[in-house]
Amino acid sequence: MTRFRLELLQWYALFAGPLMWATQHALEFGWTNAHCSTPVAAWNVPAIWLNVLITAVCGSAVVAAEVAAFVVYRETANVGEYAPGPYGRMKFFAQAALLGNVLFIVIVALDATGAFYHGCGQA
Amino acid sequence: MSGASYAVGSARSNGWWGMVVFVLGETTLFLMLFATYFYLRLQSHHWPPPGIDKPPVLTPVLLTAALASTSIPMQAAWTRARHGNRVAAWWLLAAAAIVQVGYLIWQVHDFVLDVHREPPSHSAYASIRSTTLAIDHAHVLLGVLLTAWMVVRLATRLTPYRLRGLQATTFYWHAVNAITIAVLFVVDLSPHL
């Protein structure tokens, strides 16, 4: 794999998790709250299916980031643990993303659960 | 003093990259605190609530200016150390550490007085103000510990490993100083606007 592709995968692996979770959180929080207002509720948009769609898109992107991290980690398997330069950084960030994206997958699942069980009567 | 030059080159160390990611995470934390602060402010008719004085301006501004100015000796220390001038780097670090410790002592003293005067449990204003300031002071404390550690390590000799530690510490201080300026604007100056 070329270095350019590895770089792309590494940065995607590192940043897609937090960005996708933030996107999912903002969209589901905003939509779920808006759905509780009388004018928006009158639109009869199925809130649960919209939340499922948002979670599916964002969750898939985070899972793809985990896969990207694994690919970069495999491609840099021969690079030393504290090697300087781009390849050392790519391996370092791939390791960080491998762990971080597992946490983000769990956070996305928890966020979706919260949105599904949100009741309009709650404060 | 060693005359050797430790050229780091254009490639950043993993330690520096790790610090960048850490700072990004902490920046997100402060952005959420700022968002919470302005959300609560927009929900209130009076900010600060009746019976609470607006925060002082002069002392926090001067203290923050003093802290922000330590970015200069920190950067200079890193530059000197990179060129192998350990003694000059050590003195610059020590000077920065004195100002940073002075800032922290003064601010923590004022913070304790603030919390006793207006406990966080009394109002949303006191709660978000004290939370934001406490977290900012905690970051300054971490920076002081990092600087102190570098002062200890550079007292004996300079190695590429310690140089990378100084590089990461310097970056951390630039970030903390920028965050502290933002906290000053949000927590101390914005209630006067």
Q: How many helices (H) does chain A have, and how many strands (E)? A: 4, 0
Q: Is residue B99 part of a domain?
A: yes
For residue A85, the distance in angstroms to the closest alpha carbon of chain B comes to: 5
**Which domain CATH number covers B148?**
1.20.120.80
Using one digit for the tens of pLDDT, what is the confidence trace for A52-90? 999 999 999 999 999 999 999 999 998 887 777 888 899
Any domain includes B3: no
Q: How many CA atoms lie within 13 A of A61 on its CB side?
A: 18
Chain A residues closer than 8 Å to B36 by CB: none
Establish if B8 belongs to a structural domain: no
Is the residue at B54 inside a domain? yes
Domain that holds residue B65: 14-192
- DSSP-H helix ranges across B83-123: 86-117
Question: Is B87 within the bounds of a domain?
Answer: yes
pLDDT(B105) > 50: yes
Question: What residue of B is the nearest CA neighbor of A84?
Answer: B13
**Residue B29 maps to a domain:** yes
Overall number of domains in chain B: 1
Predicted confidence (pLDDT) per residue in B15-62, tens digit: 889 999 999 999 999 999 999 999 999 999 899 999 899 999 999 999
- Which residues 64-83 of A are in CB contact (within 8 Å) with B? 82
Q: Identify whether the C-beta of residue B5 lies closer than 8 Å to the C-beta of residue B84.
A: yes
Inter-chain contacts counted by CB atoms under 8 A, chains A and B: 22
Residue A86 touches partner B, C-beta closer than 8 Å: yes
State the pLDDT confidence band at A121, using cuts at 50, 70 and 90: low
Q: Is residue B81 part of a domain?
A: yes
Is residue B135 packed enough to be buried (19+ CB in 10 Å), middle (13-18) or exposed (0-12)?
Answer: middle
In a domain, B148, yes or no: yes
Whether residue A18 and residue B21 make contact (CB cut-off 8 A), yes or no, is: no
With CA atoms as reference, the chain B residue closest to A89 would be B14
Q: Which residue has the tokens 């802290």?
A: B67
Which residue of A3, A11, A89, A103 to mutate against B (max B Cβ within 10 Å)?
Answer: A89
pLDDT tens sequence across A12-36: 999 999 999 999 999 988 888 888 8
